[in-house]
Every structure is written in structure tokens, then in C-alpha cells.
Structure 1
Amino acid sequence: MTDHRSRFLRLALEVEALRFGEFTLKSGRSSPYFFNAGRFDSGAALATLAACYADAIDAAGLAFDLLFGPAYKGIPLASALACEYARRDRDLPLAYNRKEAKDHGEGGTLVGAPLDGRRVLVVDDVLTAGTAVREALGLIRAGGGLPVGVAIALDRQEVLDEASGDRRSAAALVAASEGLPVVAIASLGDLLAFAGESATLSDERDRLLAYRTRYGSAAD
């Protein structure tokens, strides 16, 4: 497992962004694990997380000129990543969207650097149904930007809708429908490998495997 993946998983466990137990997801599924990027709630945690994002993005070889954070969780994530790239001597412009358009002051939905003519990388925490990312992509294109990829923290690698018969994950569906690469710091597969190497997580691995057997996407 590459270093940024193991560093990310260790950090997620340390700050309890990644927890094990019985969790009911928005989809109604009962999951043996839960990921909440809101628990990266300190400067040190965000800085370490941003370094993991940057390492994953650089390893993927994506070419981009601007970072975009979809409201709400994407905003601090993209901001932290911009700071990390500045630390690496790359000063990137940053933009994000409001949930509701502002009708006073500068107005509009977009905030930050202009998108016109720039290659835009979207930064978010996870892709559940892909709704927020698709909305962000629409705003970016309407603002004259060119989306070139999506970076997320964790790819759950599970089917979006098992009743449909389509065994692709939300990340795979977004990648296919939008024609964009989706880069994740780590995936459920990485979490399984990580749990297999940890004596304290060995009991969780069986439950994770059972969950993947039932809900895992076809490509994974």
C-alpha cells in the first residue's frame, strides 16, 4: 500500500473520521463502517489530510490550474489543499460555490478566483450519489471553466443502486458519465488491506468483507 493511503487511514482512525460499528447510511444500508470528513477538525489534521490529497493527485498525474470545493465539506478541503500546494511552491487559485445564490454585494453562486479558461480539479470528501459533484461540474462549465478531474478522500467502492442491476460505484458512474478521472486517497479495498495488517482491526475485516460481497461494485 502506498504511503499516502496508509497515512490517510491512520489519520482517519486517529481523529475518528473512520469508525466501525453499525451505521445506517443515507441509502438505508446497514454499514459496518462510517466515514465523516467533518472530524478532520483541527489545523494539524487538515494539514496532514491535505498532504495525503496532494500525494494522491500528484501520483495520478492530473494537470490542473485551479481547485474547486463544492459546498459544504469541499470548501475547507480545497482550501487546505491549496495551502499544501503553496507549501510545495505551487500557488493555485481557489474557488467554491454557495448553496444559495447571493443577491447583494458581488452576488451570484461562485466565490473566489475566476474559472474562465482554467482547468479545474474538484475536491470533495466522498461520492455518495454524485449529486453535489455533478452540480459543481455544471457550475464550473457555466462559469467558463474546464473540469479535468475529481479528487475524493475515500471511495467506498459500492454500487449506487443494486436494484438497477448496474454494479458500478458512484465514482465509476461519475467518471463514465462526465468523462473525468476520479482520484481517491484510499478505497474500501485499501481499508481491507490495512485491516488485514492490523491486529486490532482483524475482527472488523470479516465484516468489511461481508459488506463488500453484498454491495461491492463490479470493477472492484
Structure 2
Amino acid sequence: MSSIEPQGSTTPTNDADTLAADIDACCRLRGEFTLRSGQVASEYFDKYLFESDPALLARVAARMVHLLPAGTELLGGLEMGGIPIVTVLSADTGLPALFVRKKAKEYGTCKLAEGPDVEGRRITLVEDVLTTGGAVRDATRALRERGAIVEVVVCAIDRSPGEENPLADVGIDVRPVLTRAQLDAARAAS
């Protein structure tokens, strides 16, 4: 099993408040945006802006290293937002990455998770933003059906409402780098 210490990361670890402020400044857009629900909003949080910024992505991954549980054998990045994060996290820790699809592809290898075999392996899921936990819940069930041991998700941002774990029903511990409250505090301070 590989170590869970950063290998070669030269990015200094910033405190959570500074990281929250930097991500909020990068990702919170103002204008007119049509949301998935059809509603129009004057603000939009574009999570892909921090994932496409090498410096911010490295800072998020560096903070995730310390959230990984002991015994993690594979890192499972969820399609699509978890893929860039899991790639950097894998490089930082030396742990193999999986790229977990929303559904198994219907051709070729017909895999749900691209990468090493998952059966009997302890997988920590990696997600960018968690709100209701639907994608994590689906991935957890599908990976468990394939014999994987899945008990933890690390996420860049936990935007779930309230203080309750949205994934308690499937026995998943949520370990966020940042929370909605930290991003809201960063916005209020700016």
C-alpha cells in the first residue's frame, strides 16, 4: 500500500479561510444565469473555474491528503468534477486513481470504473462539490455491487444543507476541504 503523504507538492498549505476566499473570488460569477431549475439568478458558482486553475487545484488536493482515511487503496474520482481532483491527489499521494463513470459504458470493457480492479479494495471517493450526495450515493452502491469497500468521500466543497450528513443512509463519512458556511463567510468578508 502507498503512503498518504504528498510527493513533490511544493504548494504551501494555506489556511481554510484564505482558500475559501480565493475559491469564492474565482468561482462566484455575477450576471444573469439560467439555472438547471429554469430559474434566473444574478449569481452563479462555477466550480470548474477552481478545477481548471492549476494553483487552486493543487491547494485543494494538498488539503485533501490529510482527509484520506488510513487504509485507502484506491482513489475514486467521480465523473466529471472529481476527475481532475483525483488525478492531482493520486500524483500527490502515490495512490492509484479510478475514474468512476455515472454509468458503466456499454461497449469495450463495459467498466463503471476505469483503472485497477475494485473487488475487495478499500476506495475513498473524491468529488468536487457535494450538495445532496446523489452522485456519490449512486457510485457507492455501484462500486459495492462490484465488491468494493466504500466508506468515505472527500470533497472540495460540501454545500449540503444543514448539519446532517446527506450520505448517512448509505454509511458514507463526508470529509470536506471547505463547507458552504466557509464560502459564505468568505463572500461576506469581501
Which TM-score band (shorter chain)? Answer: 0.7 to 0.9
Residue 78 of structure 1 aligns to which amino acid in structure 2? V
Question: How many residue pairs align between the two structures?
Answer: 176
Corresponding residue number in structure 2 for 1:70: 78
Is 1:178 equivalent to 2:187 in the alignment? no
**Structure 2 CA distance, aligned partners of 1:156 and 1:107?**
32
User: How does the TM-score come out when normalised to structure 2?
Assistant: 0.76
Is 1:188 equivalent to 2:180 in the alignment? yes
**Structure 2 CA distance, aligned partners of 1:28 and 1:129?**
19
- Larger deviation: 19-28 or 112-121? 19-28
Corresponding residue number in structure 1 for 2:45: 35
Residues 1:141 and 1:100: Cα distance change in structure 2 (over 3 Å): closer
Corresponding residue number in structure 2 for 1:110: 113
CA distances 1:39-71 after superposition (whole Å, capped 9, x unpaired)? 12143332222113224x15xxx2322110111
Residue 133 of structure 2 aligns to which amino acid in structure 1? G
State the structure with more CA Rg.
Answer: 1
Corresponding residue number in structure 2 for 1:13: 24
Q: Secondary structure at the match of 1:126?
A: strand
Residues 1:19 and 1:103: Cα distance change in structure 2 (over 3 Å): closer
**Structure 2 CA distance, aligned partners of 1:79 and 1:141?**
22
- Larger deviation: 130-139 or 36-45? 36-45
Measure how far apart 1:130 and its partner are: 2.0
Q: Greater relative contact order: 1 or 2 (C-alpha under 8 angstroms, separation 6 or more)? A: 2
Is 1:137 equivalent to 2:140 in the alignment? yes
Residue 145 of structure 2 aligns to which amino acid in structure 1? A
Q: Is the 8 A contact 2:82 2:128 kept in 1?
A: yes
Give the share of equivalent positions with the same residue, in percent: 31
Measure how far apart 1:143 and its partner are: 2.1
Residues 1:129 and 1:78: Cα distance change in structure 2 (over 3 Å): same
User: How does the TM-score come out when normalised to structure 1?
Assistant: 0.66
**Structure 2 CA distance, aligned partners of 1:21 and 1:188?**
21
Runs of 5+ consecutive residues of structure 1 not aligned to the other structure: 86-90, 159-167, 202-220
CA distances 1:167-194 after superposition (whole Å, capped 9, x unpaired)? x57x7221x2012210111112223433
Q: Is the 8 A contact 1:13 1:19 kept in 2?
A: no
> Considering only aligned residues, what root-mean-square deviation do their CA atoms show, in Å?
2.9
